[in-house]
Amino acid sequence: MPQLVVATFNLHAGIDGWGRPFDVVASCSRLDADVLLLQETWTPEGGEGLASLVATSLGYEVHEVPLSDALLLEAAKVVGTRWGPRNSRRNRSLWLGDAEDLSHVRRARWGKARAGTWGIALLSRLPVRRVETIELGRLRRDSAKRRSAVLAEVEVGTSSLTVVGTHLAHFTHGSPILLERLRRRLPAPGQPVVLAGDMNFWGPPMSLALPGWRRAVRTRTYPSWRAHSQVDHIFVTRAVEVISGASVAVGKSDHLPLRARLAIA
């Protein structure tokens, strides 16, 4: 049976909670995935984005979908050894929105603000036959301007596999609504399909919402420094066999990436 490695990683725009960058390329290299799904990618205004940089450096074909304008904030002063400051949601290094929205941020704590776009990406070392963006719409309470999924049909030996990557809103903002919209657009569970990403939702209710699918990896992923919940997932249909799967401690994001070795049955 043909095999491949699929990984999913929420990058948190390549920064920690103080706005300090980490080596995204080295982190993704350690995942060594044939297909890599990224969430919270970052592309600065007038510059190369993280997904493109990873693809160029590691030999991937990249398909990226921007979801929102965003700002990266750099802390004026780093205090202690924590991942980020003890703060509310309005005091964070990654801000979805534009500069006009920063009136709610305590600017004395933050220095520079860099503008760009925030989104998702699918990177593949395998031949890609087809790519599609699935629009999921916007939720009223969600900070992102849109939510989408990226679908690619890839060649695995002489077989074909559909891989779908997404980043859903927080469940309190209505991620079950987005999940149902996505489920209706997914291929039938009898086909070989992988669905992966930051779902902002726990495994058991995800499984109930996706009949005919199963979780390839069961482990805590959030927060990365003391994980207590799994909100990042790799789901597969019954036509896909799970050989192994685990979280991987790389990078300085607030999420742990997942990596799974799969085979097409």
The pLDDT value recorded for residue 90 is: 54
For residue 93, tell me if it sits in a domain: no
For residue 35, tell me if it sits in a domain: yes
Task: State which residues form the domain around 13.
Answer: 3-67+118-264
Q: Please, are residues 74 and 9 in contact by the beta-carbon 8 Å criterion?
A: no
**Tokens representing 19?**
């706005």
For residue 146, tell me if it sits in a domain: yes
- Per residue in 122-153, pLDDT (tens digit) is 999 999 999 999 999 999 899 899 999 999 99
Q: How confident is the model at residue 175 (pLDDT cuts 50, 70, 90)?
A: confident
CATH number of the domain that 36 lies in?
A: 3.60.10.10
For residue 72, tell me if it sits in a domain: no
For residue 15, tell me if it sits in a domain: yes
For residue 36, tell me if it sits in a domain: yes
- Per residue in 226-247, pLDDT (tens digit) is 999 999 999 999 999 999 999 9
For residue 104, tell me if it sits in a domain: no
CA distance 133 to 40: 16
Percent of the chain with pLDDT over 90: 81
Residue count (the chain): 265
Q: What is the pTM of this model?
A: 0.95
What domain count does the chain have?
1
Q: Please, are residues 3 and 26 in contact by the beta-carbon 8 Å criterion?
A: no
Which residue type does 256 have? L
**CB under 8 Å to 70, separation ≥6 — which residues?**
13, 42, 94, 95, 96, 97, 115, 116, 117, 118
CA distance 162 to 155: 9
Q: What average pLDDT is seen over the chain?
A: 93
For residue 107, tell me if it sits in a domain: no
Which residue type does 112 have? K
**Structural element, H or E, at residue 244:** strand 240-247
